[in-house]
Amino acid sequence: MKKNKDHDAFSEKNLKRLRSEISSLNQRLDHLLGRDTVAAVDSELALLLFPLYPLEGEQPNPEFLYFRGRSERSGQVLMVSRLDAPTPALAEGLVRTAVEVEKSGLAGRLYLDARGLNPDADAYGRYDEDIRRTAAVLQKSLIPVVLDNRPELFERGDAPDAALYCGWYSLAEYKNAFTWSKGAVGYHVASSECVSLHDRRANYWVKRMIEKGV
C-alpha cells in the first residue's frame, strides 16, 4: 500500500513538472511567433509588485476564485483605475462633484439588483448571494436599501434618488431606470461595460451612467 502511495506521489510530481515545462514551451513559442504579447496598461500596472514573470501570455489572477489557496497566489495585485469620461467636461465634473459631495455628504437610496440565482450552483450564484448579503447588512444602517431579487432588471422609474447602485445583468445595454443623486456611485457587474466611453452609438453601462449623472 505504501509503495502504491509513493508511486502515486512520484507520478503526480512528475506530471506537474511536465505540465510546467509544456506551459513554458508554449509561452516561448507564442513569444517567437508574436502571439499573445499585447497587454493593457492597467493590467501591467496592477502587477508592479509581482516578482518577475513572463511578459508574453496571460498570468493567473490570484484574486480569482479558482486560484485561491493555490501556489500561484503570490505577490500583491494593485487596484488600478483611471479618470475618464465621454467628454472632458464630464471628466472634470467627476472630480468637482466628488469634492463637493465629500463636504456635503451623499444622500439618496442604495439599489441592489440581484437575479435570484441559487448560491450553491456556481460562482455566479455565489456572487448573486453576495449582493443579497450586502442588502441584509446595509438594511441595518440608516441607508434606505432597495433589493430586487428577480431575473428582471430595474426599469424606467423604478430607481429614483439613486445614490449607490450595484447589480446585473444586461450586457452593453444600459437600463434608464435611475434618477441619480449628486455624487452617485454605480457599479454594473459585466465583462464589457467600458469597451468604449466615446462611441456615440454605444449603450455601455459605464458610458451611460456617467452621461446620466453618476
For the chain, how long is the longest CA-to-CA vector?
A: 73
Place 134 in a pLDDT band, splitting at 50, 70 and 90: very high
CB burial of residue 105 (10 Å; 0-12, 13-18, 19+): exposed
Residues facing 109 on adjacent strands: 162
For the segment 83-133, what is each residue's pLDDT rounded down to a tens digit?
A: 899 999 999 999 999 999 999 999 999 999 999 999 998 989 999 999 999
Record the cell numbers describing residue 123, joined without a space: 460562482
The model's pTM is 0.71
Name the more confident of 179 and 6. Answer: 179
Residue-level pLDDT at 105:
94
Task: Pinpoint the alpha helices (H) of 34-168.
Answer: 41-46, 88-104, 123-138
Angle, alpha carbons 114-118-121 (nearest 5°): 125
The model's confidence at residue 21, banded by pLDDT at 50, 70 and 90, is confident
pLDDT tens-digit series, residues 31-64: 677 666 667 788 889 888 887 877 766 777 777 7
Beta partners for residue 164, in sequence order: 110, 185
What was the pLDDT predicted at 5? 55
